Amino acid sequence: MVLSKSTLAVTAMRLVGRLSLKSARRLGSFMGWVAYASNNREAKITRENLALCLPHLSESERERMVKQSLKETGKVATEVCVIWNNNQVPVQHYIRRIEGEELARKALDESKGLLILAPHLGNWEVLGLHLASLGTVTNLYQPPKLAGLDEVIRSGREKSGAHLVPTNAKGVAALLKNLKSNGICGILPDQNPNEDSSGGFAPFFGHSAFTMTLVHKLIQRTGCTAVFAFAKRVEDGFDLIYREAPAEIYSDDQNTSLTALNLGVERLVMEAPEQYQWEYKRFKKVDPQGGERRYQGY
């Protein structure tokens, strides 16, 4: 009998989910090392992004960062298997320290609604589960390419009480409704928008990047408070870090707001640059006002 890719993936996730967090991290680190040693597509993209975004690093420093970043990204995949698989252990069990949470609670106390901006830094899945302890959470969700993984991912992300909505007009309407009701919405702000009408170009680490306008629209339509956050990987668990967004993110001017959004991501990334998902093609879309094509051949 030939097993489908979905069946194999689900089986692998469940097997990894039986490991301790420490063992799972070792496995994830090994997966990242394999990616680096084989110089695969992710390694090449990581190397190019680091050369663009962190040019102050020496070649040897950058190469060490490439290897470490791939290892840290590998850990994300294995960590979530452990955290999603064990329903007897709440996510709070893995949290060692919380810094800046008063920023989030202040927004909720003032009934403004809370928009959490969580880049692909550290383990964003851990942060997403923790947010449900602060209030009613609604997040956008795009089903995976392997349909068989949908139930595993959905149940994992909803185990703390979050509500997932589709990445379409109906889903955005649900985000607006929740924010207006003083709820919490989480956004991954460093993703490339799918539609031209959903984004605009703004500087990111000194280079023009196609940036989502959804955050600007949500703020303008609800008056919510935006807070940057990430779950930083530390010994035996995670530290949750909340940071105030640049004031310009609330500007009526879209370009000003997008620039502030990317600046907030930059500042957060530099708190733990090795834990950022550098293998994402952040500069894939070319700015017609003088941008350059990136990631040639991969």
Q: Both tokens of residue 287?
A: 């700015």
Q: Give the span between the Cα atoms of 238 and 89, in whole angstroms.
A: 15
Q: What is the mean pLDDT of residues 80-98?
A: 89
Question: Which pLDDT does position 210 carry in this prediction?
Answer: 97
- Among 76, 227, 84, 102, smallest CA distance to 162 is for 84
Q: Give the span between the Cα atoms of 115 and 108, in whole angstroms.
A: 10
DSSP state of 236: T
Q: What is the mean pLDDT of residues 264-283?
A: 98
DSSP state of 257: H
Q: Give the span between the Cα atoms of 106 and 113, in whole angstroms.
A: 10
User: pTM for the full model?
Assistant: 0.94
Is residue 209 helix, strand or coil? strand
Q: What is the mean pLDDT of residues 124-136?
A: 92
- The pLDDT of residue 3 is above 70: no
pLDDT band of residue 5 (cuts 50, 70, 90) is: confident
- The pLDDT of residue 101 is above 80: yes
Q: Which residue has the higher pLDDT, 6 or 50?
A: 50
Domain ranges (residues) in the chain: 5-275
- The pLDDT of residue 183 is above 90: yes
